[in-house]
Structures are given as structure tokens and as C-alpha cells.
Amino acid sequence: MTERTAKNVEILEKNNLYKKFFEVDEYVMRYPQYNGEMSRSVKREVMDRGHAVGILLFDPVKDKIALVEQFRCGVYLNGDYPWVLEVVAGMVDHENETPQDVALREAQEEAGAKVTALEHITRYYSSPGGITETLELFCGRVDVDTLPAYAGLDVEDEDIRIVVLDVAEAEKLLTNGKINNGITIIALQWLILNKAALLEKWGVK
């Protein structure tokens, strides 16, 4: 019987299929099955685009959040309204850059936000069947009155509108499906469930 551990997974072959902004590789592999035997050789195509970090901007004094709205090509190609409400997010650019570093950098670049406290939410896989990417998610304390109306880096062709919402209003958008991307859904659900504890931790009554 073969133990189901990562060390018993066999990579028999690896072929690069595409390499630009992201990379796609084809793997031929075998892995331990629940019946104790090794699987037959299977092919899996996997996308590698690095790792991402998101941050939900929350003003605990005013009970408001700030989301960013920007054009998303994938949503457009799917036939949905392509200006999407999201939490601030970006990619880890350097090996020595921590997720906290990325969260603070992206908050400044995408929303002009100065974050005064940072709370870790979770780390998860965006699509574990075919993508290596993980997303590290935070909640950051901000003063929404200091945020600009628009932000983004010209060098990255970012055209971003800052949208400030009451938490209750954001919850309604979540319920009626107007917020339709995973990272923002997870962040808002976390805030709804943990807001009381977060306010206590941050000393806000």
C-alpha cells in the first residue's frame, strides 16, 4: 500500500506550453490513490502566475469599506458587466516581499490608502485543480475620508474608481449577487462574521 503523501507523487514528465505574463505547463504524473495503489499516468495542465495578496479597506469608525472598481477583460468576454467591484489586490513581485508588504503597497497604489492596522484573514487557493496561485487576504484599517476618487498606476494601465460603501450596503450587494468575484466575497463574509471582534481588537466602540 502506497501512503498518500506528497513525497510519493511522481512527476514523470514536464512540458512548457506557454510562457508570457503567466506560464502553462503540462505534467505527466502518478499519485497515490485511496485504494492504496498508484494511479495510472495522467496528464494535467497547470497555470503558474505567481501569488497574490488582497486587502479589504475598512473604516471602523464610520462603519464603511472602500472597494476598487475597474474594467476586467475576462468578465467582459463572459458577457457580464465588466466594471467589477473588488478589494484591492496585487501580485507578489519579489521573493523577499512579504504578503503584508504587498498589501500595504497595493493599498497605496490602487486606492491611495494609508493603512494604520492590518489583520490577516486567510490564505487560500484560487482554483486548485489547475492553478498554483495562492491568495493571502487581509483587512486594513483606513480613514475613508482621506481616499481619492480615482487611483491606479499609469505604467500598469490601471484606471480605478474608489467606491466607498456602508458595510450594510456592501452586504446587500453581496446578497443580491452584484459582488461576484471570489476574493471580495470571502473578504466581506469574513468582515460580517468577525466585525465585532475586530472592533474590539482595534479599540473602536
CB neighbours of 30 closer than 8 A, spacing ≥ 6?
Answer: 9, 10, 12, 38, 39, 40, 41, 42
CA atoms within 13 Å, Cβ hemisphere of 103: 24
* Cα(113)–Cα(66) distance, integer angstroms: 10
Tell me the average pLDDT of the chain: 96
pLDDT for res 155: 85
Q: Which fold has domain 52-201?
A: Nucleoside Triphosphate Pyrophosphohydrolase (3.90.79)
Q: What ranges make up the beta strands (E) of the chain?
A: 10-19, 23-30, 42-48, 52-59, 64-71, 83-86, 88-91, 117-125, 134-141, 150-151, 160-166
Domain with CATH 3.90.79.10 in the chain: 52-201
> Model's pTM, two decimal places?
0.93
For residue 95, pLDDT beyond 90 = no
In the predicted model, is pLDDT for residue 199 greater than 90? yes
Residue with cell 458587466: 81
- The answer to whether 76 and 82 are in contact (CB under 8 A) is yes
Read off the C-alpha cell for 78.
463572459
What pLDDT does 153 receive? 86
Catalytic residue positions, numbered: 156
